[in-house]
Structure 1
Amino acid sequence: MNGFDYEQWLTSVDGLAARFVAGFTARFGYPPGENGVRRAAGPVPDGVADLPAPLAEFYRHVAEVSFPDLRQGLFVAPAKAVVDGRDGRWPVRIEGSERIDVVSFGSDGGGTHFALGLPGGAPVYALPPSAVDREGVYDDHDSRARVIAATLPEFLTELHDLLSSATSAE
């Protein structure tokens, strides 16, 4: 995580989010949802220290990311939801041509989960809608899971760039 400036990222995303929702209703004909980032405040929730280091560091700075109107939606869940989701409600392992333990941390509006590979917290996987059993095993026998970023900071940079493109396209 060294080298990624969360404060700079948060400040920039805050500004881009404000521009993104300005005039949204006039452009699209309906009001925007709550688009933005929520900064972390106070101590991190119990269990965050057990998450991979990149995700634990993220939650020291960021409480939640919610962009329901950016493409089909893009969300990074609050820390407590991620910790609680490790009980099998969200994918915790990919099984297909490989067996990969993961921690799910977000989603898009179309049912795709975002997950970090374990134990080190990299790479970032996109897990399109598929069967997930009661133990949180994601069925990837059709090889639809894919790496979308090498690291969590790269994922966050891509989110920033996507938001920047959406605001400059107006």
Structure 2
Amino acid sequence: MDEQRVVAWRASIEAATARALRDVVSTFPFEPGAQEVGPPASAAQLAQLRARMPWIPGDLLAVCGLVGAVSLPDIANGYLMFDPEYMLGVRHRDDGLPDRIGAPFDEDVVVFGSDGGGALYAVTLDQAGTVHRLRECRYEAGTYSFDAVGTSYDTSHVGITPVAESLDDFLDKLLNAVEAFAVDGSIADL
């Protein structure tokens, strides 16, 4: 992942957040919470993350080291990218293996973020680094899965859904969603 691109992304997401707070959130009948981007993870935090999760994708490690956590609870329905300590504390298998997403994908993943609606975002460990949204998924024995059988509601917005071709693509979509919200309060589903 290109360092200059990630640093520019951080500046852009901070600027879009400031616009959203000024132009949209300020019109809401409540006081907004803290919207935070960063600080970047320390070298010690990155080393701990790499030691405990040696499979973590280099692109995700780069984002942690150049951006850090992103917490935007009042932008749209909320967007979060976890800091390394949180990622280490998120559900992990006790056997030292990465988590997985179930059928039809059956891929190893690292969960790195969420939205305000309860969905998680996970990046695959393969070369592509596809980002999936996990909404209303069950977590059992290290695997996130969704079974719509017997479900009585519309399942088109739940389950395991690819949302970005790569972490780079995810960052672009997140920035676009924050920028759209800053214009007129539009809420985009990543």
| 2:183 maps to amino acid | S
Deviations 1:68-87 (A, max 9, x none): 12222110010121133252
Q: Does residue 143 of structure 2 align to residue 137 of structure 1?
A: yes
Cα 1:115–1:121 change in 2 (3 A) is farther
Partner of 2:89: 84
Per-residue deviation at 1:47?
3.4
SS of 1:157's partner is helix
Per-residue deviation at 1:164?
1.0
Partner of 1:55: 60
Deviations 1:45-101 (A, max 9, x none): 133332111111111101101111222211001012113325249x92112234211
Aligned length: 168
Which of residues 115, 118, 121 is equivalent to 1:108? 115
Greater relative CO (CA pairs within 8 A, separation 6+): 2
Tell me, in whole angstroms, the C-alpha distance in 1 between the residues paired with 2:36 and 2:137. 28
Q: Report sequence identity in percent.
A: 26
SS of 2:136's partner is coil
Tell me, in whole angstroms, the C-alpha distance in 2 between the residues paired with 1:106 and 1:33. 18
Cα 1:55–1:86 change in 2 (3 A) is farther
Per-residue deviation at 1:37?
0.9
Tell me, in whole angstroms, the C-alpha distance in 2 between the residues paired with 1:36 and 1:26. 17
Provide structure 1 residue ranges, at least 5 long, that are not aligned to the other structure: none
Structure 1 stretches (4+) deviating beyond 3 angstroms?
23-26
Per-residue deviation at 1:159?
0.9
Provide structure 2 residue ranges, at least 5 long, that are not aligned to the other structure: 149-157, 186-190
SS of 1:39's partner is coil
TM-score w.r.t. length of structure 1: 0.86
TM-score w.r.t. length of structure 2: 0.78
